[in-house]
């Protein structure tokens, strides 16, 4: 199993190093190879996604990604900015399904802005379609009307095939979890959503063991803060998913804990924490590596078909939290506050 390791910028190298220690401890036949990406890619070869890095990513079975970005790159032309590397990888690798779990560990329930009893034990997975919808639909633009007024327009567009493939991802993920799938749309207003609902329902017939429900996006936004534990897996389009996945992640209150995956049609994927490169704390050994370690667990489950290894990593993370280990971002009084490397070491020891 070959893993392309792309640490990127800021805290990227520090957190990815801890995930690699954890992977090594699994004693599986894993081969890893590192390459620069983002600002580091630009520094190395004038391109945020150097050709050799893209080739490595294409040849690998999975990609472990840190984070990209930094103030020193903010003035570069858009095509040279670090963030272009992520868009390029998504495009070249056909990564169309974004999986964002939001889990609240009992020990960290106090970190949420919601009442602890509303979120304690929360474990939901938001699946967002990543390559279609109003973000990519044509035509789009800003035009001048005959009366001289400018108007902006975008096209919300989904083909049956695009809906079908993300629906399959949703049902398959539900089978690996609590067997409940909620499809989110706006079928009361949008034609695109009506087709979405029809196609998801049709695909659902192939998954009799998964309980399918449908919900309008406005209601879902409300339910996520009212009773978030009613959800298991949520599947939705690009724009609704963009908003709902951020909302769901904040139910947990700790950005340093949240992993993500972006998958292609064959379950090859790019795995990364949802947070950015955190330049404000880079190089200080205080970043929380758990989101990256949990991303490595997702990689084991979804791309490398090693569910037992995924379970082991997740159980080890739970154990260190239970033992009271906390990085600064999740520390409360009385915790054993540790740095990035010590947190990685604690997870390795728990394994």
Residues that bind ligand NAD (CB under 6 A): 11, 67-70, 83, 86, 255-256, 272, 275-281, 287-288, 291, 329
Tokens linked to 268: 């090859």
Please, which residue, 61 or 272, has the CB nearer to ligand NAD?
272
Q: Is 242 annotated as catalytic?
A: yes
- Number of Cβ within 10 Å of residue 241's Cβ equals 25
Residue 14 main-chain phi, psi, to 5 deg? -65, -45
Rounded to a whole number of angstroms, the minimum distance from the CB of residue 167 to ligand NAD is 26
Q: Is 232 annotated as catalytic?
A: no
- Of 304, 301, 305, nearest to 313 by C-alpha is 301
Please, which residue, 90 or 229, has the CB nearer to ligand NAD?
90
Please, which residue, 110 or 279, has the CB nearer to ligand NAD?
279
- Number of Cβ within 10 Å of residue 242's Cβ equals 15
- Of 278, 182, 166, 195, nearest to 232 by C-alpha is 182
Q: Is 205 annotated as catalytic?
A: no
Please, which residue, 9 or 129, has the CB nearer to ligand NAD?
9
Rounded to a whole number of angstroms, the minimum distance from the CB of residue 186 to ligand NAD is 27
Please, which residue, 65 or 171, has the CB nearer to ligand NAD?
65
Rounded to a whole number of angstroms, the minimum distance from the CB of residue 128 to ligand NAD is 14
Give me the catalytic one of 186, 207, 302, 329: 186
Rounded to a whole number of angstroms, the minimum distance from the CB of residue 291 to ligand NAD is 6
Measured CA angle at 170 (ends 166, 172), to 5 deg: 115
Give me the catalytic one of 43, 59, 198, 246: 246
- Of 100, 102, 123, 135, nearest to 269 by C-alpha is 100
Give me the catalytic one of 176, 218, 284, 311: 218
Task: Give dist(CA 142, CA 22) in Å, integer.
Answer: 50
Q: Is 186 annotated as catalytic?
A: yes
Rg over alpha carbons for the chain, rounded to the nearest Å, is 20
Rounded to a whole number of angstroms, the minimum distance from the CB of residue 97 to ligand NAD is 16
User: Which H or E run includes 64?
Assistant: strand 62-67
Which residues are catalytically annotated? 135, 186, 218, 242, 246
């Amino acid at each position: 199993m070959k893993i392309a390791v792309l640490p990127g910028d800021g805290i990227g190298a520090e957190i990815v190093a801890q995930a690699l220690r954890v992977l090594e401890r699994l004693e599986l036949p894993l081969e890893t190879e590192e390459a620069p990406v983002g600002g580091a890619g630009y520094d190395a070869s004038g391109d945020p996604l150097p050709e050799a890095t893209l080739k490595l990513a294409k040849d690998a079975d999975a990609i472990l990604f840190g984070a990209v970005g930094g103030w020193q790159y903010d003035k570069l032309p858009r095509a040279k900015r670090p963030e272009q590397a992520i868009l390029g990888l998504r495009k070249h690798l056909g990564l169309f399904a974004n999986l964002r779990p939001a889990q609240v560990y009992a020990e960290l329930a106090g970190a949420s802005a919601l009442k602890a009893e509303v979120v304690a034990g929360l474990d939901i997975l938001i699946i967002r379609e990543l390559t279609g919808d109003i973000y990519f639909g044509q035509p789009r633009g800003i035009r001048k009307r005959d009366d001289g007024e400018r108007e902006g327009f975008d096209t919300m567009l989904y083909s049956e095939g695009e809906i079908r493939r993300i629906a399959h991802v949703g049902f398959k993920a539900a089978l690996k979890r609590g067997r409940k799938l909620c499809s989110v749309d706006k079928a009361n207003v949008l034609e695109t959503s009506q087709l979405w609902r029809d196609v998801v329902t049709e695909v659902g017939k192939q998954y009799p063991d998964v309980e399918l429900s449908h919900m309008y996006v406005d209601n879902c936004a409300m339910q996520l803060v009212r009773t978030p534990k009613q959800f298991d897996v949520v599947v939705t389009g690009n724009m609704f998913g963009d908003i709902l996945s951020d909302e769901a992640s904040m139910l947990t209150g700790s950005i340093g804990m949240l992993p993500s995956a972006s998958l292609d049609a064959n379950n090859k994927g790019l795995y990364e924490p949802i947070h950015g490169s955190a330049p404000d704390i880079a190089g200080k050994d205080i970043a929380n590596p758990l989101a990256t370690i949990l991303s490595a667990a997702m990689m084991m489950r979804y791309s490398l078909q090693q569910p037992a290894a995924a379970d082991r990593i997740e159980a080890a993370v739970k154990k260190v939290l239970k033992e009271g280990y906390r990085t600064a971002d999740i520390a409360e009084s009385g915790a054993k506050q540790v740095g990035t490397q010590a947190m990685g070491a604690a997870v390795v020891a728990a394994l």
